[in-house]
Structure 1
């Protein structure tokens, strides 16, 4: 019977040891992160006014269009595409800071004005130009309400937050004005380095390095 050489034993351990250690990790277990440099979250508050020029006959300035008109009670299923404008004042002729582009659908079978809305707010001016916020919520014909911010791009990477809106007294039959208070948290687009502590003592494995 021949004895294995020290080199052979070393090679065998290199092959077998990772399998033994991997088997010791529970199915639903997690490997702790060490030396993890997580980018900071930033919060900003924005105050803007949304201008909705409603669809309808003799409305040359409208910024929404009905795609589907149904005969269901309360107009259930009626779908409208919109490109609403956002300014810093109640004057719709002021500089357009951003546009809310998306659709709203009458989603209520038992109630009127249960408009489910989803749109991207794309900023055109200022420090956030080119960035977007993904927003969803209900516009229920109420004087005030809230929409959820569920994502973003550009400066608003991994955005989350809330938009509180109020129907503004300066609204007219043509221009429905909503005062928006936007509170959003997002991840700074800076280099990120995440290090996973390997199963081997004193050994770090680089998983990711780059920009968010």
Structure 2
């Protein structure tokens, strides 16, 4: 017995809406990759001179009044506390460039390369303006922190002639490489 064309059309529409609904449910349930939020406070230690210096001026400015054009390479320690003997969690490797005439006009571009048990070998790619206090953008990440985005609020805690401690309040979202059967990131 043949199905009348009108009934076949209704049947096709019903099956199509069921399939599309199931696909939407799968997409919303995040079965293979889900974002995880990370909120973490760390501390960058900048040492500008001496035997333990972790930044070096590589391009000197021809503008002595403003320093415009100066380029500094950095490999700052990122610590779990603002103390010289605190545990190193990561290194902030990159450059900062004097990109304007005001005191805080430093453009910073760096990779935060994590060490230790939690995110060993993973990175955040970071950029922004480095005033005394400010906000950097997290524009990417690798390994455990892949596809990262977010911000790092940085606040100068303590400054001496050769050394600064900068608090880094990290708020990031990333896609871990593995999730469990419920779509929850495996930690």
Q: Using structure 2 for the length normalisation, give the TM-score.
A: 0.76
Whether contact under 8 Å (2:76, 2:93) holds in the other structure is yes
Q: 1:160 pairs with 109, 128, 149, which one?
A: 149
1:136 pairs with 2:127: yes
**Equivalent residue for 1:82?**
74
Matches within 5 A, 1:83-98: 83-98=75-90
**C-alpha separation between the residues in 2 aligned to 1:94 and 1:39?**
34
Q: Name 2:46's counterpart in structure 1.
A: 52
Q: Kindly indicate whether residue 135 of structure 2 is the aligned counterpart of residue 146 of structure 1.
A: yes
Q: Is the 8 A contact 1:97 1:126 kept in 2?
A: no
Q: 1:117 maps to which residue?
A: 108
Q: Output the aligned Cα RMSD.
A: 2.1
Indicate the larger mover: 175-184 or 85-94.
Answer: 85-94
Provide the aligned length of Structure 1 versus Structure 2: 154
Secondary structure at the counterpart of residue 66 of structure 2:
helix
- Say if 2:40 and 2:170, in contact at 8 Å, map to a contact too: yes
- Can you give the 5+ residue segments of structure 2 that lack an aligned partner in the other structure? 1-22, 180-187
**Correspondence for 1:42:** 36
User: Equivalent residue for 1:62?
Assistant: 53
User: Per the alignment, in what secondary structure is the counterpart of residue 155 of structure 1?
Assistant: helix
Give 3-state SS (helix, strand or coil) of 1:65's partner: strand
Matched, 1:105 2:93: no
Question: 1:179-204, CA deviations, whole angstroms, 9 ceiling, x for partnerless residues?
Answer: 1111110012137xxxxxxxxxxxxx
TM-score, normalised relative to structure 1: 0.67
